Chains A and B, each alone.
Chain A
């Protein structure tokens, strides 16, 4: 058989082999959905879809799950994980919203406004920010930002105002959102810059000829034409923010608490927990069947969201294709 392998391969055989190799990735994706789904199934069976809804105390439910061992009673699978879903939506939503605005304006800066020297610096800077590991963001967050917020920004009267419900320690929504925004902005800037550059400058010049000032011309013409890229950037950034586990586990205060906007400014300092950071926080308990199922259910929800995001991004970009700007 060795000789057969060493003989020049025919195209047919090569195509088959390479095709099989390509299929392995597809097999892995299917396996991922299947295995995570199988482990998550008990939670769905017991709670239906309402496990993402509110009700009861999540921390009590998780403690319950953790303390039941090999053959848990059905009541152990009771789960209402709304605080986690809310925490995920809140942190991701705010971070992506802020990030989009900052990215668009930074991209305009890099592409149109910056002096050449600064522009040459900006590119490696963006690439650097994109490749910093999340544990380093988390380290700076937990050792620098959290004590700063906890000791210098939160006043004791603010603490006292919520002391019967939750403790404010500095680790919470504000630090989480700030660091998350810094993490996802470079991804968006890279994509948006590329798109801004590929818009023909004649379009912008036409707008200027019609009397718009240069910045307005950029905003009205170039940025609008780059909308598919902005959508792609937003989708990519949302996927990144959803899946961020380690950094959030370090700076979010790790309380399964749903921050209340009614609390005013204190809302920013309240601790939270996301689906991904919950998996990291509780991962040592994964061998307890009930708790393990809950963690896999969180993972399944994240997987599902990643799917939905890709499809949504594709669908949103479809009508924008007519501008024929690479997105």
Chain B
């Protein structure tokens, strides 16, 4: 947000004329209240953020032991026997990989098509609107949609079929496919903004050399938006690991990774499992409720991951040179 950083503030105060600043003591009461409120709002927000991070950190340090990260969860009637959250951690990783892999082709492809071709115009607008709609759809609706699709017998190979003929519909493939919808909008926005920012002369130079459009895309444009795509991917990853609704509805919520079938690799994808988010939800009073300590520990790990991803976005943005603020590549959108 470099533009914001150079705005007025006490180092470049709102001056009225040379050297004289309008002091709030001369203002009307309403304006003074508004000023106070602005300060309180701003500082309050920072305080809340600090509070959340510090509290999660405090609880996390209180309850997190390294053994929890490397131990598999176990069914047990007591807390001490119920193991750690290795499987949920792996589930998070696996789901993220699937989601991103499925999201990259449509996102980058659509961004390229929109930026470089984009005819006919009604189609371009339709594509943009569709992505906007997907971005605005609640994740719980996307989860229900995924359930309705993957419980069709057409998609039975993607999950487990019960002996009575009912398709379970919940598996890593199902959840991963819906997660790709979650990651698609930030990835698309990042790539499209990057492509639009590529100066026209780069394209013109390539055309002058006789390159076709597609060759220009492959050799000139894509490499130059690499960091945008990286930012988009990181944002997508951050949204995927934080999503709970899709996991609760579509991943089968088994404590451990539960394979389905006998083809190695595919059996994990067809199987069920859990992620850090569903583990936190399940261990909180909203789930079985028995283990707030485990919930805090897992939530702490989740927070650390999210913070790390945030830093990564920052780092990529900075190396890109023209970081344009909070909404860079749809950071918050």
Whether A and B touch directly in their complex, counting CB atoms under 8 A apart, is answered as yes
**B110 located at the interface, meaning its Cβ lies under 8 Å from any Cβ of chain A in the complex:** yes
Residues of chain B contacted by A109 (CB below 8 angstroms):
38-39, 41-43
Residues of chain A contacted by B14 (CB below 8 angstroms):
112, 208, 214, 217
**B10 located at the interface, meaning its Cβ lies under 8 Å from any Cβ of chain A in the complex:** yes
Identify A135's interface contact among B129, B299, B313, CB under 8 A: B299
Q: Please list 30 pairs of residues, one from A and one from B, whose beta carbons are closer than 8 Å in the complex, sorted by A's number.
A: A8-B212, A9-B214, A11-B213, A11-B214, A21-B109, A25-B106, A25-B127, A28-B130, A28-B181, A32-B142, A36-B141, A105-B42, A109-B38, A114-B9, A118-B46, A119-B5, A124-B310, A129-B48, A129-B49, A130-B332, A134-B244, A136-B56, A139-B284, A139-B299, A194-B1, A194-B325, A216-B31, A239-B136, A250-B286, A283-B249
**A19 located at the interface, meaning its Cβ lies under 8 Å from any Cβ of chain B in the complex:** yes
Asked whether, in the complex, the Cβ of B136 is within 8 Å of the Cβ of A35, the reply is no
Asked whether, in the complex, the Cβ of A190 is within 8 Å of the Cβ of B110, the reply is no
**Distance (whole angstroms) from the CB of B210 to the closest CB of chain A:** 12
> With A and B bound together, what is the CA distance between A19 and B118 in angstroms?
8
Inter-chain contact count A-B, CB under 8 Å?
323
**A302 located at the interface, meaning its Cβ lies under 8 Å from any Cβ of chain B in the complex:** yes
Asked whether, in the complex, the Cβ of B38 is within 8 Å of the Cβ of A246, the reply is no
Asked whether, in the complex, the Cβ of B332 is within 8 Å of the Cβ of A127, the reply is yes
Given A135-B244, A136-B56, A136-B280: A142 touches B286 (CB 8 Å cut-off): yes
Residues of chain B contacted by A201 (CB below 8 angstroms):
7-8
Asked whether, in the complex, the Cβ of A187 is within 8 Å of the Cβ of B333, the reply is yes
Residues of B within 8 A of A (CB): 1, 3-5, 7-11, 14, 16, 22, 24, 26-27, 31, 34-35, 37-39, 41-43, 45-46, 48-50, 52-53, 55-56, 105-106, 109-110, 112-114, 116-117, 123, 126-127, 129-134, 136-142, 144-145, 147-149, 166, 181, 184, 212-215, 217, 238, 241-245, 248-249, 277, 280-281, 284-286, 292, 295-296, 299, 302-303, 306-307, 309-310, 313-314, 325-327, 331-333
Identify B243's interface contact among A38, A133, A194, A310, CB under 8 A: A133
> With A and B bound together, what is the CA distance between A29 and B325 in angstroms?
30
Asked whether, in the complex, the Cβ of A22 is within 8 Å of the Cβ of B114, the reply is yes
Nearest first, the 5 A-B pairs at minimum CB distance are A243-B138, A109-B42, A133-B242, A21-B109, A214-B14
> With A and B bound together, what is the CA distance between A32 and B144 in angstroms?
9
Residues of A within 8 A of B (CB): 8-11, 13-15, 17-19, 21-26, 28-29, 31-32, 35-36, 38-39, 102, 105-106, 108-116, 118-136, 138-140, 142-144, 182, 185-187, 189-191, 193-194, 197-198, 201, 208-209, 213-217, 219, 236, 239, 242-246, 249-250, 276, 279-280, 283, 286-287, 295-296, 299, 302-303, 306-307, 309-310
Residues of chain B contacted by A280 (CB below 8 angstroms):
140, 245, 248-249
Asked whether, in the complex, the Cβ of A106 is within 8 Å of the Cβ of B212, the reply is no
Given A201-B8, A306-B133: A243 touches B141 (CB 8 Å cut-off): yes
